[in-house]
Amino acid sequence: MSEPLRGVIVSHAAIAQALVSAVSVITGIDGALTPVSNEGCDNDALGERLRAAVGSAPAVLFVDLPGGSCLTNSIRYAKQHADVAVVTGVNLAMLLDFVFHRDVPAAEAARRAADAGGKAIRVTAA
Amino acid sequence: MTVALYRIDDRLIHGQVVVGWGQPLDCTFIVLVDDEVRSSEWEQDLYRMGVPPHIEVVFASVDEAAERLPAWEAEPRVGILLVGDIDTAAALAARSARVKRLNVGGIHHRAGRTERLRFVYLTDAEAAKLRQLAATGVEVTAQDVPTARPVPLGEFT
């Protein structure tokens, strides 16, 4: 692939920015993830923020909830761009895996990230 | 029980509506009034995503909504009616006298609008339309979530 995948985190309030910071602190990798907040946006404005964040690179959009304005606008965007995939329920574990595996097509990276994120959700022994 | 909330929200169905209002109201149906969404199966699928299965989502044009409002208001269930902009709200109110109150829940920044509240941006023309609605007897307040104070129209237009 000519250009590595970009990850765009689409969230309510400041969750996206906090996740980007956490990934940077843990891995030392900067620039792989871009935060987008829906704060103060109607649907058109959020779509515009997504366009600016994704640019021309293939991308995975990591959305916080499996419904609502972050998801509906991400899916609208992905529908118009074949090299963009959407994952819901973003968590830190899936992002940590993603930044080290960006040399695959967006759909494959999205499946891998969802798997990594799901495996991180556990009920631990006391 | 009835349509408990008539809301203008340019994000239409989203977390603040489904969770913020839906939970305390024990809402089990949402009516989305929007001519464009009503004509697009794909947009309807999109808005259904993320709505819990116990909440029915009904899509209606303005004309359909005006006709079906009496039935929705007679429902034993609690519902929320959503429109995406002031023009749609005004069109519905013009066709049905049953629209007696409007919650301005979210109108965000666009060119030409100025901030009236943290979650309400209006042009002068939009503010005037809200005042016209109020003059016809519709109670208009702004309130993003149930725990916030309903702000009277005079305080933000």
Instruction: Render pLDDT for B63-100 as a digit per residue (tens, 0 to 9).
Output: 999 999 999 999 999 999 999 999 999 999 999 999 99
Number of H helices, E strands in chain A: 5, 4
| Predicted pLDDT at B79 | 97
Is pTM, for the whole model, over 0.90? no
Please enumerate residues of B whose Cβ is less than 8 A from a Cβ of A.
10-15, 18, 46-47, 49-51, 106-110
Looking at residue B78, its amino acid is V
Q: Is the pLDDT reported for residue A53 higher than 90?
A: yes
Q: What is the mean pLDDT of chain B?
A: 96
| Predicted pLDDT at B50 | 79
- Chain B hits for A72, CB-CB cut-off 8 Å, are 13-14, 46-47, 49
Mean pLDDT, rounded, for A90-105 = 96
- Sheet containing A6-11: give its strands across: A33-37, A6-11, A59-63, A84-88
Q: What is the pLDDT of residues A15-45, one digit of tens each?
A: 999 999 999 999 999 999 999 999 999 999 9
What CA–CA distances, in Å, run from B149 to A62, B103, B146, B155?
A: 34, 12, 8, 12
Q: What is the pLDDT along chain B (157 residues), one digit of tens a residue?
A: 599 999 999 999 998 999 999 999 999 999 999 999 999 999 999 999 879 999 999 999 999 999 999 999 999 999 999 999 999 999 999 999 999 999 999 999 999 999 999 999 999 999 999 999 999 999 999 999 999 999 999 999 9
Percent of chain A with pLDDT over 90: 89
| Predicted pLDDT at B1 | 59
Q: What is the DSSP letter of B11?
A: T
Cβ–Cβ < 8 Å for B30, B17: yes
> Is there a contact between A42 and B110 if contact means CB atoms under 8 Å apart?
yes
| Predicted pLDDT at A2 | 63
| Predicted pLDDT at A125 | 84
Query: How many cross-chain Cβ pairs, A to B, lie less than 8 Å apart?
Result: 49
Q: Is the pLDDT reported for residue A104 higher than 70?
A: yes
- Residue of chain B whose Cα is closest to the Cα of A66: B50
Cβ–Cβ < 8 Å for B78, B28: yes
> Is there a contact between B50 and A44 if contact means CB atoms under 8 Å apart?
no
Percent of chain A with pLDDT over 70: 98
> Is there a contact between A43 and B10 if contact means CB atoms under 8 Å apart?
yes
